[in-house]
Structure 1
């Protein structure tokens, strides 16, 4: 079974798919070793590991090289977070999507947030982009490649629910395989969206939204923790490095 088929199948089982978010080879190998069935790269984690803030500040080819290194070194499907596509025009975004598929990933996350200004891309424009992405992938031998259409309605709008449902339905009709709605935490809204949208819904771990069994009961098919693990690693290293400097002693490293 190809990685694309394998990844798609993970979204259609009775059990929720818990995706492990990696930012380098070591984190990816560790997630695979402990039993994760799929990996999603975290753009924020990758950016931080290279000394950048999140938000497409890295040269795309440098970002893609990290994604490729992860894909080359694990045996489980990888989905690549390519933010909004790393391009100011449709042609560049499409080129970047194809480059990403060519490194062997099974899917992508692509979001509707604008990067050069605040706000969301117009719904019709984003639907047109998703449709072109689907056609491009199909025409290059990537049939059923998993397009996880991320909508940032819950990060950008004061009243996001109706807009999230509208966009989610439109994105699926335009070729998205699933919809990722980070920031969505209200249980009733989650249940309403999973019932209304005929595609796998992906939500992101946040304080108060952490339990896979609960989310599975609400109809969620995919759950990820974004940059939370990489942030925790940075915090841990900072804490321990500070301890070394304050004590001028490394004995605790061996306890």
Structure 2
């Protein structure tokens, strides 16, 4: 993504959150191949997943240990033709200025969105990070996550208080992973003036049901990555037992073609 296309792309990404009855279904990739395969299936916007970034290098998730690895993945994916939102945990710092520096770097490599989580830390601190990022990189879509359901007991008053503070700080959207009860989802939609993002749960509402509730963005988080690991374990168990593995298996050539497509685009860009 060039400097000339960054602002229109960011506007386009924001627009995907304002289609009544049609939430943005955002699958989360973990490397170039997974992102390219998802884009080939028609997904024009993708997210990253912090769990996969951490697991790939043997580091803990959610403990601010993978800043450089996250930037490296963003550099790999940000110049591709799809819209990219990066899961940046809590910004990898308690210093709003350092989080702003990260946001600048993500924007520079082509990302149009950032997900920032509060980890149930001080509301004022998270709001300060959001305000600093929006002041410095106004085009970057900030999805402000609260962990009141993910790490806490789902206190509704605290959830709404935090979301209101993040919205007032400039957040473009709000994210409440772990929120699956339809009544509570509808209540948050009604009471918070921002597009609501929820994390898809196989045990929760379907995407059409979430659309009916007014949800504007549905993230898959680490689900696809964990399913991929599960498929690998199932396949090796089948092979060991003398069975033919089931499921979808892209061919060697199909995976190689994902890389050739990138090389072709890079060559075209260099001569265009």
Q: TM-score range by the shorter chain?
A: 0.7 to 0.9
**1: CA distance between counterparts of 2:219 and 2:70?**
20
Is the counterpart of residue 75 in structure 1 residue 70 in structure 2? no
Specify whether residues 192 and 5 from structure 1 end up closer, same or farther in structure 2 by C-alpha distance, changes over 3 A only: same
Greater alpha carbon shift after TM alignment, 228-237 vs 39-48: 39-48
Greater alpha carbon shift after TM alignment, 199-208 vs 56-65: 56-65
Structure 2, unaligned runs of 5 or more: 250-272
SS in 1 for 2:60: coil
**2: CA distance between counterparts of 1:203 and 1:252?**
33
Q: Is the 8 A contact 2:49 2:222 kept in 1?
A: yes
Specify whether residues 57 and 169 from structure 1 end up closer, same or farther in structure 2 by C-alpha distance, changes over 3 A only: closer
Q: By how many angstroms is 1:198 displaced?
A: 0.8
Deviations 1:55-89 (A, max 9, x none): 246442222111221222x3121100000011243
Q: Is the 8 A contact 2:147 2:176 kept in 1?
A: yes
Aligned Cα root-mean-square deviation (Å): 2.0
Structure 1, unaligned runs of 5 or more: 114-119, 138-142
Deviations 1:178-198 (A, max 9, x none): 001000011111001001111
TM-score (normalizing by structure 1): 0.87
Matching residue of 2:218: 223
**1: CA distance between counterparts of 2:24 and 2:122?**
30
Matching residue of 2:37: 30
Matching residue of 1:167: 162
TM-score (normalizing by structure 2): 0.82
Correspondences of 1:26-175 after superposition (within 5 Å): 26-56=33-63, 58-72=65-79, 74-113=80-119, 120-137=120-137, 143-175=138-170
Deviations 1:22-64 (A, max 9, x none): 1111111111111113101111122223333322464422221
**2: CA distance between counterparts of 1:147 and 1:252?**
41
Aligned length in residues: 240
**1: CA distance between counterparts of 2:228 and 2:211?**
28
Greater alpha carbon shift after TM alignment, 176-185 vs 14-23: 14-23
Is the counterpart of residue 10 in structure 1 residue 7 in structure 2? no
Correspondences of 1:162-241 after superposition (within 5 Å): 162-241=157-236
